[in-house]
């Protein structure tokens, strides 16, 4: 398997992709030989031996390059828009197509899914126009052949992908839009539309066995989905309950989302919907700092992967850095996301591997110590959290950072030190006296003379 990166986007090329591309290139030899006025037909006509074989190999190589670049450009359309939404996309090229995983930190809103999906065909068609322009301005027969066929391939691939048939891009768009507009009936309408398009495709392209077979497979899939709907089951992605849960999650209403998800599970839903609910509950548990509960939910996710950085965060929250560290490393190497980098470095710091954390490329130790402090605090190791927070504060002094350290010290019972750090927080600009007065993390300081004087001084400076 070939692996490389395009900036922050990891790309995997499966051998099947190159084999299918080579097979398609081989089938094009007959058509290429017909035009004897231009290459490669001009080279194949009357050629024998090594020249004939070499030209055939060159044609196949050109088609491998055309398909590889065209599919990659198409998938880059999806990936670049995913990056614009601050996701961490990855690309796989398999057989004659590709797959882009947005790797979003949570459920993707339907409108963003439409934009991400539509970007692939649009970028591919734009690339086709560029190839067409370039083909018309070159004096090389070989370049004209490659660029001209690349233009046609990209136009055809973009148009084919926009057909409203799952699993094509157009099918995902039609299902998302119609479901959003009409709910379950809209999703059923999307399947009926797909069956109609497949029937038309089989009729109009009845001379092309491969395309007819593809349309037949797509139609069978749509019929199966309709049969599922007829039985009263709703695919997980189109479940109104799940869509409501994801909306609550994105809005930050975590407790309400958790209660609704638990109620959904109590109704014994179908396995795909149950799996999606557990996946969402795992993310809710992470957001609330509950690593053990997150792992419990993630262990019940079936039929879909759990994000590596989510598992890493869960293991870090339960204090199992031995399992967390390789997962943080894998998640960063797959995404090159700076947040994941600093969480990985923070895990190393909590594990005592300070030198290794400092050697990570592009790491900011101040941010790494802050990440380490937050997880240590959530784990209830307040003395360690204060120690890590002071190290972060030394590198990046801030009112918020000093206040967090004071909270850790107060929780650890080091009240005098907590007051001293609160003084530093005030000097750095902290001024929210109402919040500090009611913050449960500072509850142990209530009645402490130094804390009361600090509150009084903070109140005076706030009213001045």
Reported as a single tens digit per residue, the pLDDT across 49-101 is 676 677 778 878 888 899 999 999 999 999 999 999 988 888 989 877 888 98
Which region among 292-306, 349-363, 382-396, 430-444 has the lowest average model confidence (pLDDT)? Answer: 292-306
Structurally, the chain folds into a number of domains equal to 2
The answer as to whether 409 is a domain residue is yes
pLDDT higher than 70, residue 234: no
The answer as to whether 322 is a domain residue is no
The answer as to whether 359 is a domain residue is no
Which region among 52-61, 94-103, 209-218, 274-283 has the lowest average model confidence (pLDDT)? Answer: 52-61
> Residues 214, 165: contact at Cβ < 8 Å?
no
Mean pLDDT for 257-280 is 85
Q: Which two tokens stand for residue 138?
A: 């070159």
Query: 436 or 39, which is more confident?
Result: 436
The answer as to whether 64 is a domain residue is yes
The answer as to whether 145 is a domain residue is yes
The answer as to whether 228 is a domain residue is no
Given 162, 178, 204, the domain boundary residue is: 162
pLDDT higher than 80, residue 462: no
Given 110, 129, 162, the domain boundary residue is: 162
Which region among 68-77, 140-149, 205-214, 363-372 has the lowest average model confidence (pLDDT)? Answer: 205-214
Q: What is the pLDDT of residue 30?
A: 66
pLDDT higher than 80, residue 129: yes
Which of 270, 182, 183, 166 is closest to 219 using CA atoms? 166
Given 162, 192, 209, the domain boundary residue is: 162
Pairing of strands 90-94, 2-6: unpaired
Which pTM does this prediction carry? 0.58
The answer as to whether 391 is a domain residue is no
Beta bridge partners of 100: 91
Reported as a single tens digit per residue, the pLDDT across 411-429 is 999 999 999 999 999 999 9
- Domain containing 20 equals 2-162
Q: What is the pLDDT of residue 295?
A: 95
pLDDT higher than 90, residue 186: no
The answer as to whether 54 is a domain residue is yes
Q: What is the pLDDT of residue 47?
A: 56
């Amino acid at each position: 398997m070939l692996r490389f990166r395009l900036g922050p986007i990891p790309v995997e090329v499966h051998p099947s992709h190159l084999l299918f591309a080579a097979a398609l290139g081989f089938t094009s030899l007959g058509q290429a030989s017909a035009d004897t006025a231009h290459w490669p037909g001009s080279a194949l006509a009357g050629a024998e031996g090594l020249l004939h074989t070499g030209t055939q190999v060159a044609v196949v190589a050109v088609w491998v390059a055309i398909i590889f670049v065209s599919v990659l450009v198409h998938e880059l359309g999806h990936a670049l828009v995913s990056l614009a939404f601050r996701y961490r996309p990855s690309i796989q090229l398999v057989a004659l197509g590709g797959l882009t995983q947005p790797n979003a930190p949570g459920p993707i809103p339907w409108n963003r899914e439409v934009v991400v999906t539509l970007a692939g065909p649009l970028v591919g068609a734009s690339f086709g126009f560029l190839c067409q322009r370039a083909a018309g301005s070159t004096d090389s027969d070989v370049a004209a052949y490659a660029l001209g066929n690349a233009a046609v391939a990209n136009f055809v691939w973009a148009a084919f992908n926009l057909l409203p048939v799952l699993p094509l891009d157009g099918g995902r768009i039609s299902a998302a839009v119609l479901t959003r507009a009409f709910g379950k009936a809209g999703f059923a309408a999307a399947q009926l539309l797909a069956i109609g398009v497949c029937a038309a495709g089989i009729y109009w392209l009845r001379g092309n066995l491969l395309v007819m077979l593809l349309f037949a497979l797509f139609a069978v899939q749509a019929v199966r989905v309709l049969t599922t709907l007829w039985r009263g089951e709703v695919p997980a992605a189109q479940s109104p309950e799940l869509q409501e849960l994801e909306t609550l999650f994105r809005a930050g209403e975590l407790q309400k989302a958790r209660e609704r998800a638990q109620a959904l599970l109590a109704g014994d839903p179908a396995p795909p919907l149950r799996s999606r609910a557990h996946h969402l509950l795992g993310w809710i548990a992470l957001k609330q700092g509950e690593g053990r509960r997150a792992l419990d939910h993630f262990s019940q996710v079936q039929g879909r992967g759990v994000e590596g950085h989510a598992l890493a965060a869960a293991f870090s929250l339960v204090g199992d850095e031995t399992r967390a560290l390789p997962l943080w490393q894998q998640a960063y190497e797959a995404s090159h996301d700076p947040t994941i980098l600093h969480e990985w470095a923070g895990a190393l710091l909590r594990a005592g591997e300070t030198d290794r954390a400092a050697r990570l490329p592009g790491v900011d130790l101040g941010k790494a110590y802050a990440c380490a402090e937050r997880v240590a605090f959530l784990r209830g190791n307040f003395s360690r959290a204060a120690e890590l927070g002071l190290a972060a504060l030394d590198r990046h002094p801030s009112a918020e950072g000093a206040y967090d350290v004071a909270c850790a010290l107060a929780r650890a019972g080091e009240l005098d030190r907590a007051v001293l750090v609160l003084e530093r927080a005030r000097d750095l600009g902290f001024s929210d006296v109402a919040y500090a007065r009611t913050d449960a993390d500072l509850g142990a300081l209530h009645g402490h003379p130094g804390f009361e004087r600090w509150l009084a001084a903070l109140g005076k400076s706030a009213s001045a």
